[in-house]
Amino acid sequence: MILPSPRGTAAGTHIWVKAAAPADDRIVGGYQCEAHSQPWQVSLNVGYHFCGGSLINDRWIVSAAHCWQNPFSQIAILGDHHIWMQEGPEQYMSVDAIYWHERYDYQTLDYDIMLMKLAHPVTVNQHVQPVALPEACPAPGDMCTVSGWGNIYTDQVFNPFYLQCLEVPILSNKDCEGSYPGRITDRMVCAGYLEGGKDSCQGDSGGPLVCNGELHGVVSWGQGCAQPNYPGVYTKVCSLTPWINDILSTYA
């Protein structure tokens, strides 16, 4: 069995984490988001964008555990649209602490989630707003939006500058398991198209999958990008909401 491994290199026949390298930057088969239409979107930056995240209240961000970096070496950028241009609404926040799930497995990517506490609260406005945590799990067929600054090609790297969006459906557990036999846990959910062509990719890791105004997924891993029969795999937020709430209350 080929285990997931960091998705900072070009897509091939291996399972890659949807992580990032400095050159990897956009979603495959999507479109440029309307500016600030995803106000919870976060860019995690260590001198370059390396992962995404989602603002869930004025002090906390959800991302993928495989995106972990030293909290003091990075900043979280909110209110961004053009990744390399300062347009005015951006808020640059230092990170105070990071808490990743104690059962996170870097080989299987089970429990691929972490919480980041900002050093100071963000200013909530029309450009920067938290996304709601789910009250229930998503159903197959629910349409969701994934967004990020990840690679837009399946076989090469191209870096458009604007935040990309893509609508994808939640897939059934049967379809998800059929694509990745023995690899899908109760903390994972698949979203995308079995025919391929549209998917999250390198550089999108940790970013949001939002369905009906709720955060239902965190970009985690997949085989290649937008390959037929290999949809994107996301951390299933509804299964980890109790852990999120526990961390928020313990380290408020």
Query: Which amino acids are annotated catalytic?
Result: 66, 112, 205
SS3 214: strand
| Count of other CB atoms within 10 angstroms of residue 173 | 13
Token couple for 51: 């992962």
Q: What is the DSSP letter of 25?
A: -
**From CA 54, how far away is CA 211, in angstroms rounded?**
13
Name, in order, each residue with C-beta under 8 angstroms of 224's C-beta and a sequence gap of 6 or more: 11, 12, 13, 16, 154, 230
CB atoms within 10 A of CB 153: 16
Dihedral sign for Cα atoms in the order 71, 130, 238, 29: negative
Complete DSSP assignment for 139-181:
-TT-EEEEEES----SSS----SB-EEEEEEBPPHHHHHHHST
Phi, psi of 245 (to 5 degrees): -65, -35
Q: How far out from the chain centre does Cα 191 lie?
A: 12
Cα separation, 174 vs 115, in Å, equals 30
Count Cβ atoms below 10 Å from residue 197 Cβ, excluding itself. Answer: 12
